[in-house]
Amino acid sequence: MMIPQETRTVRVGLAGLGNVGAGVYKNVGRNSALIQKRTGADLQIKRVVVRNLTKARDVEVPADALSTDWRELVNDAEIDIIVELIGGVDEAFELVSTALQAKKIVVTGNKALLAERGQELFALAEKCGVPIYFEAAVAGGIPIIQTLQEGLVGNRIQSIHGIINGTCNYILTRMTQAGLGYKEALQEAQDKGYAEADPTLDVSGWDAAHKAIILASLSYGFWINPADVYVEGVDRVELLDIRYAERMGYAVKLLGVIRADGSGRVEVRVQPSLVPRSHLLASVNGSFNAVVVKGDVVGETLFYGRGAGQDPTSSSVISDLCDAAASLIYGFRHSGFVPHGLYGKPKPVDETVSHYYLRLLVDDVPGVLAQVATLLGERKIGISSVMQPEGEDTPPGSIPLLMMLHDAPLKAVKDAISAIQGLSCVREKAVWMRVEPLD
Amino acid sequence: MMIPQETRTVRVGLAGLGNVGAGVYKNVGRNSALIQKRTGADLQIKRVVVRNLTKARDVEVPADALSTDWRELVNDAEIDIIVELIGGVDEAFELVSTALQAKKIVVTGNKALLAERGQELFALAEKCGVPIYFEAAVAGGIPIIQTLQEGLVGNRIQSIHGIINGTCNYILTRMTQAGLGYKEALQEAQDKGYAEADPTLDVSGWDAAHKAIILASLSYGFWINPADVYVEGVDRVELLDIRYAERMGYAVKLLGVIRADGSGRVEVRVQPSLVPRSHLLASVNGSFNAVVVKGDVVGETLFYGRGAGQDPTSSSVISDLCDAAASLIYGFRHSGFVPHGLYGKPKPVDETVSHYYLRLLVDDVPGVLAQVATLLGERKIGISSVMQPEGEDTPPGSIPLLMMLHDAPLKAVKDAISAIQGLSCVREKAVWMRVEPLD
């Protein structure tokens, strides 16, 4: 807010010079004068740790600044801040914990590390009296961590709905807009560099789940156990359901959903979900991310931007570097993300309640709808709409039966679907997805 | 980030108990335990200044905490932070400057004050060594100030396009969705409490201009003079043009536009503008606000939420109170908003370049299009599309002629339109608006 009185040199050790690491190196250099004027910090990346010293790279790092051993960063007394961008969990945990013990401030973009071992690392950070910054771990360039920690600090968070995996959103967007099948869309995402050669972490929903765990832990002040998170990926989404959803006024998105109920129980889940086309989230396309946060004071907010990529993610790392530099210059602040225990405990996924989309392939004979409706009604599941489209490409004597179901607990819905699949008039495994009205 | 070690009581003086002030009082009380756990600050609103002690209010304030003289806040040694929510410029200036001189931290939501006298106040804050926080001054509950100061601190800001006046957006939304005329929509906004009895500041575009001045000054590090801002309101928007814009794939929105060109000149303007329907901004409806920020590192981002109202705006005030409390507990930080002078000077509005929408009422005779096109071509203004809709409700012998014009400087466009209006085949004053492709 005010004018920095003097410039302080802040030396940074960078572990990892992959896509994001190279972006950090490039952009810190490019905007260094601006950052210095704005913050009073002259950020200097003193050493860079890579796996392979001779590999060709996008950015030019002086040879004597390169190293293959991250311990050199930890042992360098001049280095104040260590940026961890090596990915993975085990080695990254060792790096971060060793850095904290050496009283180095840590900046990381490693969502898997924080989702799986964040509780230990933040406890260690407390003990060592040095902070960890992690804006880049969730939603790329979108400053959602800071927004939750500071901008919305006066709010009880009611719910978060996020499109927080750019790869999955790209795949679903291309299926929707170009009519591609899942496999074609995935191949295209790989060809364009939006998906890894092994896309499992993304398409399984687990990358999004790691981010949802971080957002939920931040919002509710207790660490979410990955075992308490319900995760489904985009790999089972069929073009047919995207088309039916469109006809019913919905888009299909992979959503991370975090929601507290009236008794303070928190659900965290990741699933392909139907989103009303009239909601902004339905228009978030390609590799973009967006996070809708509802707070008890602020109401509905949405934060949108690129969810991955060299430059956007490095924007978040640089923001953290400036925050870390301010901690050095002006002292640490204690705020925002705390296990305050004021509210929140995990909600078993079977008890989570939502609307559902259900697609069946049934015999084209009278009485089928009544049989299905009876099984739903017996479990107190209401039907909000039914569509039985004509002239579809289904086997002779069969027709699709589509239903939108009212709010119901997952357990009741799974039970009903299991019973429905037992009906002799139902030909295939039922297809069903959550519907998020977002109202 | 870390756990507050102890709780510190922070005493707040609140000047103004109108809509937002009452929200601050109510919500600080409601979420006080949560705020304390998150930040280590126990926020206590010790005194509240009102104009009328006996007026009935939404919130219950103990009678002995009320006062009609803001000097009591300044002179109270126990009060650490003064929240200015009295509005207006002159008295608010006196209050804020007196508070700064008394070393009180100031939190304000007063956009007019900052846009008109911010330069003086921030200089005084520097001199006195106490900060001013002003998240609530722009875009209600959206934490856009913090985002620019911190989240995007590593970015050169390339442009900002904002829907930053909820009243105007409500009016334009109702015209678009319900086919209301401007006056009907304004009346409805007044009936619903979205517009003041005297709506001039909103509908003239000046409230949005005040906010744009703050965003631009923050982004470019020099104070924008209100005289350098080009402002048009919604009061001249006709339903007819909204309908034509829709047919051509656009929505009409009152936009604050801030943009730096390649040579570091900054334009700041507020106008009803055509926005492509495919862009998220076109779907921001009702009293919601949204700000699109493009940075050289992060790319395109968008921040959305309620732009006004008791609760959303108080969410921003509370965020500032927590930041102010952290300043007290951990010391001030100097960062973000500084007149760094690295880039940026005002760009004369006549030199600003954009696309344009142009509507003429012309004689239905051959050769008219050629005459108009010639006058545009002579000024090097390209035509990207022409629409001459049939069967419209126009006087006998006349037809509407609609054009979308390529990028051109305002001066050339004004000059061309003046020449076009001189043609004998042109019947009425031309209607024209900027088009913002947002690509």
Residues A396 and A407 in one domain: yes
pLDDT in tens, A56-81: 888 999 999 999 999 999 999 999 99
- Residue A146's pLDDT is 94
**Cβ contact (<8 Å) for B31 and A155?**
yes
Residues B303 and B315 in one domain: no
Q: CA–CA separation, A347 vs A239, rounded Å? A: 32
Residues B209 and B99 in one domain: no
Q: CA–CA separation, A362 vs B125, rounded Å? A: 73
Q: CA–CA separation, A251 vs A338, rounded Å? A: 36
The reply to whether B1 falls in a domain is no
The reply to whether B380 falls in a domain is yes
**Cβ contact (<8 Å) for A150 and B323?**
yes
DSSP E strand stretches across A189-285: 230-231, 250-260, 265-276
pLDDT in tens, B39-66: 889 999 999 999 999 888 889 999 999 9
From the list A104, A211, A253, A347, the catalytic residue is A211
Eight-class DSSP state of A236:
G
Residues A157 and A300 in one domain: yes
**CATH number, domain containing residue A386:** 3.30.70.260
Note if B345 is an active site residue. no
Q: How confident is the model at residue B1 (pLDDT cuts 50, 70, 90)?
A: very low
The reply to whether A344 falls in a domain is no
Asked if residue A3 has pLDDT above 80, the reply is no
**Cβ contact (<8 Å) for B153 and A283?**
no
Residues 6+ apart with CB under 8 A from B342: A33, A34, A37, B221
pLDDT in tens, B361-404: 999 999 999 999 999 999 999 999 999 988 778 899 999 999 99
Q: CA–CA separation, A85 vs A63, rounded Å? A: 20
The reply to whether A34 falls in a domain is yes
**Is the CB of residue A156 less than 8 Å from the CB of residue A343?**
yes
Residues A284 and A317 in one domain: no
Q: CA–CA separation, A267 vs A255, rounded Å? A: 13
What is the ipTM for the molecules in this complex?
0.95
**Chain A contact set for B34 (CB, 8 A):** 156, 340, 342
Could you give the angle at the alpha carbon of A390 between the alpha carbons of A386 and A391, nearest 5°?
Answer: 150
pLDDT in tens, A221-265: 888 999 999 999 999 999 999 999 999 999 999 999 999 998 889
| Beta-sheet pairing, B398-409 with B353-363 | antiparallel
- Residue A262's pLDDT is 84
Q: What is the enclosing helix (H) or strand (E) of A245? A: helix A239-247
Compute the average pLDDT of residues A190-198. 89
Compute the average pLDDT of residues B151-165. 96
What does the mean pLDDT of chain A come to?
Answer: 93
Q: How confident is the model at residue A101 (pLDDT cuts 50, 70, 90)?
A: very high
Residues A15 and A113 in one domain: yes
pTM of the model: 0.96
Residue from B142, B301, B317, B438 whose CB has the most chain A CBs within 10 Å, to mutate: B301
**Chain A contact set for B1 (CB, 8 A):** 125, 131-133, 149, 333-337
Q: Structurally, how many domains does chain A consist of?
A: 3
The reply to whether B340 falls in a domain is no
Residues A191 and A113 in one domain: no
**CATH number, domain containing residue A222:** 3.30.360.10
**Chain B contact set for A38 (CB, 8 A):** 153, 221, 335-336, 338, 340
Q: Which of A273, A307, A341 is the last residue of a domain?
A: A307
Find the length of chain B.
Answer: 439
Indicate the residue of A304, A323, A331 with minimum beta-carbon distance to B301.
Answer: A304
Indicate the residue of B1, B297, B315 with minimum beta-carbon distance to A154.
Answer: B315
Q: CA–CA separation, B53 vs A148, rounded Å? A: 37
Which residue's structure tokens are 């806040």? B73
Q: CA–CA separation, A355 vs A435, rounded Å? A: 5
- Cα dihedral value A314, A16, A194, A187, nearest 10: 180
Domain range for A286 is 151-307
